Amino acid sequence: MLGAPGAGKGTQAKKLADKYNIPHISTGDIFRANIKNGTELGKKAQVYMDQGLLVPDELVVDLVVDRFKDADCKDGYVLDGFPRTIPQAEALDEALSKSGERIEYAIDVNVADEVIIDRMSGRRACLNCGATYHVVNIPPKKEGICDTCGKSLVLREDDKPETVKKRLAVYHEQTQPLIDYYINKGILKSVDGTKTMDETFHEIVQVIEM
Ligand code: AMP
């Protein structure tokens, strides 16, 4: 799943993983879990994440490729937030080709920057279980409290407006070139991420099952 931060790719990736009963692999979630658990990887990643910068490629690629070895990945997976740079995409293709596999679809959830800035300021996250909400679009049942685990919701450091602007700049510079990368491979599908969550999901499923 490709898309700017806040385009809704995480939500759509989870829904896809549920529908097709395959794992949802989010590098952002993996880093956040490492930060929460105080691991060495988490400490290194946090320095970049808090500034809205990408974590260096060498800290990301092996992490994801190792995850593919788990039994639940045998029928496929939804990658969310990875790859995020051309070198990551090339490393991914290389690792997959060794086992005769390939990326089947690259789905770009397309949303304009202004809409994203507006959306992100309303985003709330549970740092305990990783669930995400939006004060208007996906409110928790009880304001400020996670539906899943009951802990308090926060505006993540990397969702604050200044960090969002930085993340969008980083997205345009480092991640957007992946759109052409996957167009050239003939597997890019673009969907409109400004519709409702369910409408966008419907569009994604149509694209996959076409
Ligand atoms: P996300 O939850 O996908 O928006 O990721 C949050 C942050 O984690 C990003 O802003 C990056 O700092 C870092 N991150 C997640 N995935 C990657 C990746 N594939 N490459 C580099 N940094 C990443």
- Residue-wise pLDDT tens digits, 81-118: 999 999 999 999 999 999 899 999 999 999 999 899 88
By annotation, the residues acting in catalysis are: 9, 84, 123, 156, 167
Q: Quick one: what percent of the chain has pLDDT higher than 90?
A: 80
β-pair type (132-134, 123-126): antiparallel
Neighbours of 150 (CB within 10 A): 11
Residue located nearest, by CA, to atom 11 of ligand 1:
54
The residue-averaged pLDDT of 5-23 equals 94
The side-by-side arrangement of strands in the sheet containing 132-134 is 132-134, 123-126, 153-154
Q: What is the pTM assigned to this prediction?
A: 0.86
CA angle, corner 16, sides to 12 and 18, nearest 5? Answer: 120
What the chain holds in terms of domains, given with CATH numbers, is 9-111+170-202 (3.40.50.300)
Provide the mean pLDDT of the chain.
93
Report the nearest atom of ligand 1 relative to the CA of 158.
10
Amino acid 48: pLDDT: 93
181-210 average pLDDT score? 95
| Residue carrying structure tokens 């992490």 | 63
The stretch 198-209 carries a mean pLDDT of 96
Q: How many whole angstroms from 175 Cα to the centroid of ligand 1?
A: 11
Q: Which residues line ligand 1 (CB under 6 A)?
A: 5, 27-28, 31, 48-49, 53-55, 60, 81-82, 84, 88, 158, 167
Question: Ligand 1 center to residue 201 CA distance, Å?
Answer: 22
| Owner of token pair 């996906």 | 138
Tens-digit pLDDT profile for residues 128-174: 998 989 998 889 999 999 999 999 999 988 788 888 999 999 999 99
CA distances from residue 86 to 80, 102, 167, 177, 180 in whole angstroms, order as listed:
15, 16, 17, 7, 10
Does the pLDDT at position 47 exceed 90?
yes
